[in-house]
Amino acid sequence: MKEGSIIELLSLLRILYLRKWILIGVTALATTAIGTFLFTNDQPVYRSSMKLILNSSEGTSEMTIEKMNLHISLMNTFKELIRTPSVLGAVLDRNPDWQLSTTALAEQVSVSTSEQAPVLTIIVRNSNRERSVDILHELSSELKHQVSVLYRMNNITILDDPKEQKFFKPEIESNATRNTLIAGFAIFMIMTFSISTKELLSNKVKTEKQLVELGLTPLVTLHKYKRSDLNKSKKTRNKQAGEKNVTATV
C-alpha cells in the first residue's frame, strides 16, 4: 500500500473517531426504531410438515430395486402435481373461508422428495397455527384422490397424520430479529459513508499541513498541550504570584 493511501486511510479513521458518538447514536436510535416497528408488526409464521410414502400395490410381489426407482420417479411426479391449480383449486373450493387464491396458497406450500426412498414431504407455512395443519390435511387428501383418479393407485400412506399435529406446537418462524440486524448494519454503513464523504469533500482547511500543501503560511501556530501540562503551568503561575506577594509584604 502506498504512503499516500495509508495517510488517507488514517485520516478517514481519525474523522470517524472524532464523529463516533454521532455515528453510534444515530445508528442506535434508528435501529431501535426499526426494531420496535418490526417486532410490533411482526406476524409469526407457523411451519407444519408431514411425509407421505408410496407403498407396493396390494397383491404384488416384494419391492425390488426397479420398483423402488419407479416409485421414486412417481413421487417426483406427484411433487409437481400437488402444486397444480387442479389440486390447489379443489382444496380452495372446499374451503372458501380461507379467502386465498391458488397463487397465494402455492406460496405457502413447499414440496420435496427423497432420492433414496419414495417419500414426499409437504411443508406449509401460515400465520395461523390451526390453518397450517388444516392445509396439510386438505392437500394430502386431494393428492390421494387425484392419484387414484389419474393413476388408478391407492397405495399412498400418510406417515405423519396432520390431524395429530394439532396436539403439537408447530415451528414458529420470525424474521424480525434478522431484519433488525440487517437494517442496523445498513444504517451504520450509510452513516459511515455520509460522514466520510462530507469530511473528505469539505473545502475547509483544518490543519497546518493542509496550509503548507496549499503553499500558504499560518499566521498563528497553536501547540497541543496535555491537561497535565496546563495544570503544571497553572500551579507555577500561582506559586510565582505567591512569592511576589510575600516579597511585597516584607
Q: Does some domain include residue 165?
A: yes
Residue 124 maps to a domain: yes
- Three cell numbers written together for 145: 384422490
**Which residues are 113's β-sheet partners?**
120
**What is the predicted pLDDT for the residue at 248?**
47
| pLDDT of 94 | 92
What cell was used for 8? 488517507
Task: For residues 98 and 128, give the distance between their C-alpha atoms in angstroms, rounded to a whole number.
Answer: 11
Provide the residue range defining the domain that includes 213. Answer: 3-40+176-237
Q: Report how many domains make up the chain.
A: 2
Q: What is the CATH number of the domain that holds 130?
A: 3.30.70.1130
The answer to whether residues 203 and 157 belong to one domain is no
Residue 193, number of CB atoms within 10 A of its CB: 10
Residues 109 and 186 placed together within one structural domain of the fold? no
CB 90 within 8 A of CB 84: no
Which of 173, 188, 213 terminates a domain? The answer is 173
- Within this chain, do residues 137 and 31 fall inside the same structural domain, yes or no? no
With 0.85 as the threshold, say if the pTM is over it.
no
Report the pLDDT value the prediction gives residue 193, as an integer from 0 to 100.
Answer: 84
Which residues are CB-neighbours of 55 under 8 A, at least 6 positions away? Answer: 155, 156, 157
pLDDT per residue as tens, the chain (250 positions): 555 566 666 777 777 777 788 888 888 898 899 888 888 877 778 888 888 888 876 555 566 778 788 888 888 888 888 888 889 999 999 999 988 898 999 999 999 888 888 888 988 888 888 888 888 889 988 988 888 888 888 888 888 765 665 555 567 777 778 888 898 899 888 888 887 777 666 655 555 555 555 555 555 555 555 566 656 666 666 665 555 554 444 4
Q: Which residue, 173, 192, 221, sits at the end of a domain?
A: 173
Say what the pLDDT of residue 16 is: 76
Q: Which residues contact 190 (CB under 8 A, 6 or more apart)?
A: none
> 104 is written with which cell numbers?
397465494
Question: What whole-number distance in Å separates Cα of residue 147 and Cα of residue 127?
Answer: 29
Cell of 58: 396390494
Domain end position, chosen among 152, 173, 194: 173
